[in-house]
Structure 1
Amino acid sequence: MISLEETCNIYTHPSRISFSLGLLLALGIYISYVPQHSRIIRRRSSEGLSPLFLLLGSTSAFSAFINLYLVTLPARQCCSIDLTAFQCMNSQVGFIQVTLQMIGYLLVLFLCVFLTRNSVDESRTEYEKIYLSFQWFLAYAFVNFVLVIYLVFYQGEANAVMKFANLSGILATVFAMFQYFPQIYTTYRLKHPGSLSINMMLLQTPGGFVWSLSLFLQPGSKWSSWLPYISAAFLQLILLSMCLYYTWNTDTPGSEAEAITDIERTNIETGENQERQPLLA
């Protein structure tokens, strides 16, 4: 068993260059999601986004957040003992990065749920699937939240905490790997990106490899903390390649406009049918 003093020694010689790069990477991670947020806001539609992709991505991001929160608990204990403010901040760079990544991804799901709800450009069938994904995510987050409170504040056993941290890292990896398969299938079926932002993937795909290396080089890093991101980076590269191929070789603007037109027509027809139904059976 490694003593707390030995653990704290890991964080006593931080690199200012590594710290600065880590914070810049954290900012870049969040900024990389802005094109996706903007595309959903502009289109007012989730067309092209797989509900299962949104669910698995959200649970992966939340699981990675839980993993880093638990893995960095010893560092935060060291902060209250003998680390300087700079040493303490440096020990939390990985956690800051994962937190911003989680916020960026969850905003995608939240925008799809709350911004497109009454949009004429949003398929009612797809919205119901996305809302169901949102409910499943809330249930998953609640269960994890309760377990973390129990393990950290009531049981307090370090081995149990680390086992759950590793489990969260494994789940984050599995979710991150499988999240891209339904989206790859959706993009292949539609033959256009739709509301999926190519600009986001152009930023995130190379950034995913850099971020994985950054997490790997963090003091006290665990394999369960960086594995989700290296796995996701490879699969996102495949998805990006597909989107670029369809953009360069097909009439993407025409396909996307036609898809939105079909959605609008279906929504209008459905609305008219509902209005024509008698109020009393």
Structure 2
Amino acid sequence: MSSGTCQPHHDVFADVLTAGLCVGLVISYLPQHLRIILAKSSEGFSPWFLLLGSTSTVAGVLNIIVKQWEIVRCCHVLSAGNCIEATAGIFQLFIQWFCFTMILVLYMLYYPSHLKFATVDVDGRPVKTEIKRDEWRLSITLSWIVFLFTAFFASITFLLLGTESSPDSVRLSSWATFLGVSSTMLAAFQYFPQIVHTYRHKVVGALSIPMMCIQTPGAILMVTSIAIRPGTNWTTWSPYAAAGILQGILLVMCILWKLRQRELGLDDFGNPLGCPDMQDTPVPVAQGPIDGERVPEAVSAAVETDIHNVHEEQVTEVTPLLKQDEAPSKGKDWLGWIRG
């Protein structure tokens, strides 16, 4: 589209590249979304990583909207096809924002229940309280910050676009630069909390390696696609260049931890392979006699036996770990193994 007119400008290479990236973005994020949903856990994510990523993508979308607002205003005189072609860059960054923000939504929905509230030890038995754990409280606070940040910055952007008659006004230009620089800085710092979080826990958690394998090299195409769009400059594509480099570092770390987990016989959440999923219970759960059936009743019966020192047998067919010929005094050793 030529400067100052609403004549359509066709660029086959840019159109094909943008269309491919839009499809690629959705495909690349699907493994991460499905991994959280299928695992029913978002453990392993840093809430600061999600905060910085969500706000960075918001600022990036608003930046390109301001930079291409003159093109957007031409849609009322262009055909639907030409309008979609001209604004494909905006749609591309919108998909990036939406898909990343969905990770934050799934993170909150599938936050492990056993990590939400603190537990206290009552007579050797962990009891859940109504007191929120620090990281769960932080996650709630940061989610609200993302919501307020999005609403506030979007309101200012569209207020300026509605009041400024010239797309080249100083205020619009300064605001677009501020959005671009902010997005770049947020993207640059985005991966540091996650890198530190993953390094400390030394497990992959709910992070998706396939997603990062697609997105890390795809960052080069993403930068190229944005850079060749009319009206954009370095403030528009630099956030995605910074994010691509740091995501590559996180990818290498996750691959190394994956190899380490395999050597130690652990799953992605640090549990021994072959053991039942224990993420939603405050203590390990005993297995039943049939196909590894989970029998939390066995734990409850054993705890009650130890507390009240009942000398009668508590053996049922669903508590195979408690032998009938064992003295009740051995229950303490068994409980010590559970609490260990």
Shift of 1:85: 4.0
CA distance in 2, matches of 1:266, 1:179: 34
CA distance in 2, matches of 1:13, 1:219: 9
Instruction: Identify unmatched segments of 5+ residues in structure 2.
Output: 118-132, 286-299, 301-340
Name which structure has the greater RCO, CA cutoff 8 Å, separation 6+: 1
Shift of 1:258: 2.7
> What per-residue deviation string (whole Å, max 9, x for no partner) do you get for residues 50-101 of structure 1?
00000000000111111111111011123334x4544332221111110000
Shift of 1:17: 3.9
> What per-residue deviation string (whole Å, max 9, x for no partner) do you get for residues 110-146 of structure 1?
1112x225x5355443332221110111111121122
Among 192, 198, 222, which residue is 2:233 paired with?
222
Alpha-carbon spacing, 1:120–1:77, altered in 2? closer, same or farther (3 Å):
closer
The reply on whether 1:140 has 2:157 as its aligned counterpart is: no
Partner letter of residue 139 of structure 1? Answer: L
1:73-222 aligned at under 5 Å gives the runs 73-81=69-77, 83-113=78-108, 115-116=109-110, 119-120=112-113, 122-124=115-117, 125=133, 126-156=135-165, 158=167, 159=169, 160-222=171-233
Shift of 1:213: 1.0
Structure with greater proportional helix content: 1
> What per-residue deviation string (whole Å, max 9, x for no partner) do you get for residues 194-232 of structure 1?
011111101111111111111111122211110000111
Could you tell me which residue of structure 1 aligns to residue 271 of structure 2? 258
Judge conservation of contact 1:174–1:228 (CA < 8 Å) in 2: yes
Structure with greater proportional strand content: 2
Shift of 1:155: 4.4
Alpha-carbon spacing, 1:134–1:80, altered in 2? closer, same or farther (3 Å):
same
Could you tell me which residue of structure 1 aligns to residue 67 of structure 2? 71
CA distance in 1, matches of 2:206, 2:198: 10
CA distance in 1, matches of 2:80, 2:68: 15
Could you tell me which residue of structure 2 aligns to residue 277 of structure 1? none
Partner letter of residue 29 of structure 2? Answer: Y
Judge conservation of contact 2:9–2:86 (CA < 8 Å) in 1: no
Judge conservation of contact 1:112–1:130 (CA < 8 Å) in 2: no
CA distance in 2, matches of 1:51, 1:128: 10
Query: Which deviates further from its counterpart, 15-24 or 27-36?
Result: 15-24
Shift of 1:161: 1.7
Alpha-carbon spacing, 1:8–1:89, altered in 2? closer, same or farther (3 Å):
farther
Partner letter of residue 143 of structure 2? Answer: F
Partner letter of residue 246 of structure 2? Answer: L
The reply on whether 1:243 has 2:254 as its aligned counterpart is: yes
Judge conservation of contact 2:31–2:208 (CA < 8 Å) in 1: yes
Shift of 1:193: 1.3
Query: Which deviates further from its counterpart, 57-66 or 142-151?
Result: 142-151
Among 5, 27, 40, which residue is 1:44 paired with?
40
| Aligned sequence identity (%) | 31
Judge conservation of contact 1:63–1:169 (CA < 8 Å) in 2: yes
Shift of 1:162: 2.2
- Secondary structure, in 3 states, of the residue corresponding to 1:250? helix
CA distance in 1, matches of 2:75, 2:279: 57
CA distance in 1, matches of 2:155, 2:281: 42
The reply on whether 1:6 has 2:38 as its aligned counterpart is: no
CA distance in 1, matches of 2:244, 2:195: 14
Instruction: Identify unmatched segments of 5+ residues in structure 1.
Output: 273-281
Partner letter of residue 110 of structure 1? Answer: V
Query: TM-score when scaled to structure 2?
Result: 0.70
Judge conservation of contact 1:45–1:121 (CA < 8 Å) in 2: no
